[in-house]
Structure 1
Amino acid sequence: MTRKPVHESRDNRQLIWEALKSASGPMTRTELQVASKVAASTVAAYLKALVAGGIVDKAEDQGRSTYRILRDTGFHAPRLKADGTPVKTGGAGLNLWRSMRMLKQFSARDLAAHSTTTEVDTTENHAKVYCSHLLAAGYLKVVQKAAPPKRAAIYRLIRDTGPVPPKTQRVHQVYDPNTGEVHFTGGAR
């Protein structure tokens, strides 16, 4: 089975989370499925994780279950395992992007330091690779060239398209879910 290109895929958790956040009151699973346009089994599994994680409350109302947010974690959908515990892998890209948006200028080492949390460990090498892809796609500008081994390159974010991080792909391109654009980066690695 082949993977769907990232620009054709959807983050179902985010769609469900946005539907929950935009609700004026508690919602049933069916209402969430319709609002998010996500499969019923996916909605059920994510709701189970959100309830287990203490982020969403499940209540019985006239023989049917309704759900409402107890703890709003912000724009990004909570990344949880089935048992409600936070997912600790794969958040580096999001943290790197957030750090880029907050810092005026940064090196890969700065980004790694600002992007590492108790849940996500971001390496300097990962930050370097992510920066090289975003530089090739036109998101970053080099403010100061590297002078190895004394000085690392210093970058500035010049294209802040929104809160969702651009995704690097194996086929040497960057997909920006904020704009829906795909930028080819050639052989950047």
Structure 2
Amino acid sequence: MVGGKSPRQHIWEAIRSVNAGPKALTTYAVARKSGLDDQAVRAYFRDMEKAGIVTKVRNVDRFDAEWTLIKDEGVEAPRVTKDGKISKYAAGAENIWRALRILGEFSAAEAATAASVNGVTISEFGAHVYLSGLAKAGYLTRSGGTAGDKTRFRLVPSRYTGPKHPIYQRDFKQVYDPNLDQVVWRQADQVVRK
């Protein structure tokens, strides 16, 4: 992520900005405003068109088109796949982060239940992995055991950094916080003490 935002988030913000102004909403105008290449912007417009978020008004030339924003999805960039389906990837973690702010403490099973709303589902195992990652990074405290319903996770209030959920990157064994635009924990940085 560059600047704490994904490329599609930059494109989406440019779309909303250009759409609010006097200029036509074109691929070219959005590419220039977002600072991203035309091909990435065209691809995102195509995916959003399939999802019914935008519609093409006309082709301006071979590489440019004018668009109409049909459905403003708010400040967060719509997560759409290449075939126009709304992606629920990472929505479970997002919902857990939101629920933590409200509820403060829960088990992985309770987190999975609280996060499984609006067509989003996350397993108890998935919730446990995410919560454990946040605990390693110091966002949560852990009590009551190491597995199952006995383990309770509690948000450390001073570690609430903002509305965007910290991303536990299991493959890299690190936690990235988009609110701070930084990797806040790496397993490789941990000193093994004997």
Is contact 1:136–1:185 with CA below 8 Å preserved after alignment? no
Matched, 1:18 2:18: no
1:149: how far off? 6.4
Match of 1:85? 85
Is contact 1:92–1:120 with CA below 8 Å preserved after alignment? yes
**Code of the aligned partner of 1:156:** L
In structure 2, relative to structure 1, the CA distance for the partners of 1:157 and 1:48 (3 Å cut) is farther
Q: Secondary structure of the equivalent of 2:172? A: coil
> 1:37-48 maps to which residues of 2 (within 5 A)?
37-48=35-46
Distance (whole Å) between structure 2 residues aligned to residue 85 and residue 30 of structure 1 = 25
Q: Secondary structure of the equivalent of 2:67? A: strand
Distance (whole Å) between structure 1 residues aligned to residue 128 and residue 146 of structure 2 = 15
1:152: how far off? 3.3
Q: Which runs of 5+ in 1 are unaligned?
A: 1-5
Relative to the length of structure 2, the TM-score reads 0.77
Give me the CA root mean square deviation. Answer: 3.0
Structure 1 ranges of 4+ moved more than 6 A: 61-64, 147-150
* More displaced 10-residue stretch of structure 1: 90-99 or 25-34: 90-99
In structure 2, relative to structure 1, the CA distance for the partners of 1:151 and 1:74 (3 Å cut) is same
Match of 1:31? 29
**Code of the aligned partner of 1:91:** A
Distance (whole Å) between structure 2 residues aligned to residue 48 and residue 72 of structure 1 = 16
Distance (whole Å) between structure 1 residues aligned to residue 14 and residue 176 of structure 2 = 24
Deviation digits for residues 108-151 of structure 1, max 9, x if unmatched?
A: 11211122246432011111111111112121234x53487663
Match of 1:112? 112
Aligned residues: 182
Match of 1:183? 184
Distance (whole Å) between structure 2 residues aligned to residue 94 and residue 181 of structure 1 = 18
Is contact 2:60–2:66 with CA below 8 Å preserved after alignment? no
1:67: how far off? 2.5
In structure 2, relative to structure 1, the CA distance for the partners of 1:149 and 1:45 (3 Å cut) is closer
Q: Percent identity?
A: 32
Match of 2:174? 173
Question: Which of 37, 53, 56 is residue 51 of structure 2 equivalent to?
Answer: 53
**Code of the aligned partner of 1:107:** S
**Code of the aligned partner of 1:36:** S
Is contact 1:7–1:175 with CA below 8 Å preserved after alignment? no
Q: Secondary structure of the equivalent of 1:126? A: helix
1:19: how far off? 1.2
**Code of the aligned partner of 2:182:** E
Is contact 1:106–1:156 with CA below 8 Å preserved after alignment? no
**Code of the aligned partner of 1:44:** R
Distance (whole Å) between structure 2 residues aligned to residue 148 and residue 160 of structure 1 = 24
Q: Which runs of 5+ in 2 are unaligned?
A: none
Name the one with the larger helix percent.
2
Match of 1:155? 154
Distance (whole Å) between structure 2 residues aligned to residue 10 and residue 92 of structure 1 = 19
